[in-house]
């Protein structure tokens, strides 16, 4: 090789090294196995194949970056939801904290049930009772104050049976999947029945999703000037419940484009999956099926929380990908090796 | 210089050239004059200084990229709004198109006024009349159908006096400003009183803002399965009016973070400016003042459309930047050289 040839080779090598950091730093990791917590099999193959097809410019199914929208449910899809939605456990913790200022709660359901640990009595109050719990614990303060309450809870609260922070209970395979999609220039949104302001304070550090890409249920807020300072005050009034047929409505309102991929785990995600997968071109619908009673929980048709019945039926008809947690996931949580 | 020294120099040069494209391609253009359509002066200096301060890691006012949220009003801030909001002109065009199917409109205000070109009669019906116009022209179809209607109108309709497409009437200096902020790793949102679905079909190509970063007023939509296909149907019912005190509410709902910079032109933007500029750290509030009757329109306190009174007063007290269109802008529209 001539000296000039060597120089050219050297320059090429330096360019490769020096420029690699300027683009997408996750590429090299992704190139090995972007879904290393997933067992090999049909599920993993279907997901990888879809992403390859829509991101390969030579493919008939190629989708430009700006249209690569993916939506993920949160409870039961990105983290666990047992023994109850974690937001409900938050509301109950919060209620106990506020109880000294509210002696009337000692005699009134659903508050009494929470304070006495009688969850059957709480459950018996149904949706109206749960809404009362949410209003009593989520409203009556400014948005800045509520954000601090959530941040403090997430930093200190522990799951009742597993005794770890709730944010340890996010599914490692799903974190990998979201990172993989982001590396492939998807824009990833969370579309959850959970409270939008309950999620936003921690989703960026835990999921890598910024607050503006979190959609959820909300209570009303009102703008006020207090002592010359503008504040947003949370009212004890429902604004929007982001569940079932409202999920496509919220997707339309917040995103304004139809996702090409949607990920859920319950009947509450059925319409989101229908909407995403009915669009033209290649589409991916994925349902996380909780089949692992040992490492997580096993439930579907009979469950109150995260009931999966109609959507599982339709997954078969429509060819959606069903993740069998027990079979498809090498590990469940990042904090544990199983 | 030794051969090794020359090689090192050569490599450095090649690296500079080769890697420059891997990052932000607008940097070199921005380095010359990112706001070349702005006249030199206090206004331009205030904007440039703010951006420098919040993006310079050595500055006490430095703001990390994820917190660099900027919100822009649309009508009167990013494009013109005379003789009426362009969306109202769209509604009137659409009404004339639909009139053959609605003989009853010939005798009923505000429809009669539109069909006869009697705008005073239309105006006399007030807000309820305008809402009737919007409902009659914006509802009763699927979201996909409405998007097509808007797309067709934007491609073919022309401004009544200037006889150019409406999208020619966007302000070149504001386009430069949004591009400059994007190049400085701001996330730019539109927060408009206008209809969210009236803007989304064209804002990406005209402003470079993707649909998910457009916030506006909306009517209700409902999810339905029609002939086995999921659709979202637009209902003749107001969902949200994104104006005045509702703008901070919408910012909170859609973005979930407080902007560090906000841009408006009317009293409808007052609360957005209050909310953005009241946060901690460096803040920028900007009001576009329409002072140029020759090149655009001149109006403020007495105007029905884009009335600017209280917000102009408060700009003085709060130290917000007021753009004097006549003084500060070298050109107004990109399609014209003045």
Say how many CA atoms lie within 13 Å of A306 toward its Cβ. Answer: 25
B275:A210 CB<8 A: no
Question: A235 at the B interface (CB within 8 A)?
Answer: no
A200:B256 CB<8 A: yes
pLDDT of res. A126:
85
Q: What is the pLDDT of residues B143-175, one digit of tens each?
A: 999 999 999 999 999 999 999 999 999 999 999
B229:A278 CB<8 A: yes
* Burial of B83 (C-beta count, 10 Å sphere; 0-12/13-18/19+): middle
Identify from B71, B256, B262 which residue to disrupt to test chain A contact, counting A C-beta atoms within 10 A and taking the largest count: B256
- Is residue B11 pLDDT above 80, yes or no? no
Query: Chain B: nearest CA to A60, how far in angstroms?
Result: 23
Q: Chain B contacts of A221, Cβ < 8 Å? A: 249, 252-253
Write the ipTM: 0.88
Q: What is the pLDDT of residues B179-207, one digit of tens each?
A: 999 999 999 999 999 999 999 999 999 99
**Closest residue to B232, CB basis, from A189, A211, A248:** A248
B196:A19 CB<8 A: no
Of A22-26, B78-82, B260-264, B265-269, the one with minimum mean pLDDT is A22-26
Neighbours of A237 (CB within 10 A): 11
pLDDT of res. B31:
58
pLDDT of res. B131:
86
Distant-in-sequence, close-in-space partners of B329: CB < 8 Å, separation ≥ 6: B37, B38, B39, B171, B172, B173, B292, B323
B275 closest CA partner among A219, A203, A142, A195 = A142
Question: B4 at the A interface (CB within 8 A)?
Answer: no
Identify from B203, B223, B258 which residue to disrupt to test chain A contact, counting A C-beta atoms within 10 A and taking the largest count: B223
pLDDT of res. B263:
99
**Closest residue to A249, CB basis, from B189, B223, B275:** B223
pLDDT of res. B304:
85
pLDDT of res. A235:
97
pLDDT of res. A9:
42
Considering only residues 15 to 54 of chain A, which have any Cβ-Cβ distance to chain B shorter than 8 Å?
Answer: 15, 18-19, 22-23
**Closest residue to B230, CB basis, from A254, A257, A278:** A278
Q: What is the rounded average pLDDT of the residues B308-331?
A: 98
Q: Which residue of chain B has the CA closest to A197? A: B256
What is the mean pLDDT for each group of 10 consecutive residues in chain A (338 residues)? 43 40 43 92 98 98 97 98 94 96 95 92 87 92 97 98 98 98 98 97 97 97 97 96 97 98 98 97 98 98 94 98 98 96
Handedness of CA B240, B246, B251, B253 (dihedral sign): negative
Q: Which residues of A130-143 are buried (b: 16+ CB within 10 A; e: fewer)?
A: bbbbbbbbbbeebb
Q: What is the pLDDT of residues B85-144, one digit of tens each?
A: 999 999 999 999 999 999 999 999 999 999 999 988 988 888 888 889 999 999 999 999
Query: Can you tell me the distance from the alpha carbon of A212 to that of A204, in angstroms, rounded to the nearest whole number?
Result: 10
B10:A15 CB<8 A: no
Say how many CA atoms lie within 13 Å of A49 toward its Cβ. Answer: 11
A212:B254 CB<8 A: yes
High-pLDDT (> 70) share of chain B, %: 91
**Closest residue to A22, CB basis, from B19, B204, B232:** B19
> Mean pLDDT score of chain B, rounded to an integer?
91
Q: Chain A contacts of B254, Cβ < 8 Å? A: 212, 254
Residue A273 has phi, psi (to 5 degrees) of -70, -40
Q: What is the DSSP letter of B278?
A: T
- Is residue B20 pLDDT above 50, yes or no? no
pLDDT of res. A10:
42
Q: What is the pLDDT of residues B27-78, one digit of tens each?
A: 444 458 999 999 999 999 999 999 999 999 999 999 999 999 999 999 999 9
pTM: 0.89
> Mean pLDDT score of chain A, rounded to an integer?
91
A83 closest CA partner among A312, A332, A303 = A303
pLDDT bin (cut points 50, 70, 90) of residue B238 is: very high
Query: Can you tell me the distance from the alpha carbon of B156 to that of B274, in angstroms, rounded to the nearest whole number?
Result: 38
Q: Chain B contacts of A223, Cβ < 8 Å? A: 245-246, 248-249, 271, 275
Q: Which helix (H) or strand (E) holds A11?
A: helix A3-20
Query: Can you tell me the distance from the alpha carbon of A30 to that of B149, in angstroms, rounded to the nearest whole number?
Result: 42
Q: What is the rounded average pLDDT of the residues B218-234?
A: 97
Instruction: Please count the residues of chain A.
Output: 338
**A and B: number of Cβ contacts within 8 A:** 111
Q: Chain A contacts of B246, Cβ < 8 Å? A: 223
A311 closest CA partner among A240, A216, A244 = A244
* Burial of A39 (C-beta count, 10 Å sphere; 0-12/13-18/19+): middle
Query: Chain A: nearest CA to B278, how far in angstroms?
Result: 7
Question: A277 at the B interface (CB within 8 A)?
Answer: no
Residue B260 near residue B67, CB atoms below 8 Å: yes
Q: Which residue of chain B has the CA closest to A217? A: B253
A225:B274 CB<8 A: yes
Q: Which residue of chain B has the CA closest to A24? A: B22
Q: Which residue of chain A has the CA closest to B248? A: A223
Question: B336 at the A interface (CB within 8 A)?
Answer: no
């Amino acid at each position: 090789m001539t000296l000039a040839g060597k120089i050219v080779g050297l320059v090429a090598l330096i360019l490769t090294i020096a420029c690699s950091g300027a683009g997408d730093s996750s590429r090299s990791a992704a190139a090995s196995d972007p879904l290393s917590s997933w067992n090999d099999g049909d599920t993993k193959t279907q997901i990888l194949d879809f992403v390859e097809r829509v991101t390969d410019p030579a493919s008939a199914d190629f989708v430009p970056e700006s249209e690569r929208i993916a939506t993920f449910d949160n409870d039961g899809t990105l983290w666990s939801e047992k023994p109850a939605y974690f937001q409900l456990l938050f509301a109950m913790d919060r209620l106990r904290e506020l109880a000294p200022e509210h002696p009337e709660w000692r005699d009134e359901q659903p508050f009494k049930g929470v304070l006495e640990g009688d969850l059957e009595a709480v459950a018996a109050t149904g949706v109206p009772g749960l809404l009362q719990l949410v209003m009593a614990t989520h409203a009556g303060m400014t948005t800045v104050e509520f954000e601090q309450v959530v941040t403090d809870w997430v930093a200190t609260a522990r799951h009742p049976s597993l005794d770890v922070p709730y944010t340890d209970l996010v599914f490692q395979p799903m974190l990998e999947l979201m990172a993989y999609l982001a590396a492939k220039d998807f824009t990833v949104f969370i579309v959850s029945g959970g409270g939008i302001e309950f999620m936003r304070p921690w989703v960026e550090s835990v999921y890598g999703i910024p607050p503006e890409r979190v959609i959820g249920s909300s209570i009303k807020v009102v703008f006020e000037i207090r002592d010359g300072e503008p504040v947003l005050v949370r009212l004890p009034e429902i604004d929007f419940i982001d569940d079932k047929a409202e999920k496509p409505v919220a997707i339309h309102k917040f995103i304004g484009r139809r996702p090409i991929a949607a990920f859920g785990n319950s009947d509450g995600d059925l319409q989101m999956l229908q909407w995403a997968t009915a669009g033209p071109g290649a589409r991916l619908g994925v349902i996380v099926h909780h089949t692992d009673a040992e490492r997580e929980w096993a439930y579907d048709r009979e469950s109150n929380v995260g009931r999966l019945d109609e959507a599982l039926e339709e997954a078969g008809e429509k060819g959606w990908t069903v993740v069998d947690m027990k079979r498809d996931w090498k590990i469940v949580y990042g904090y544990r090796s199983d």
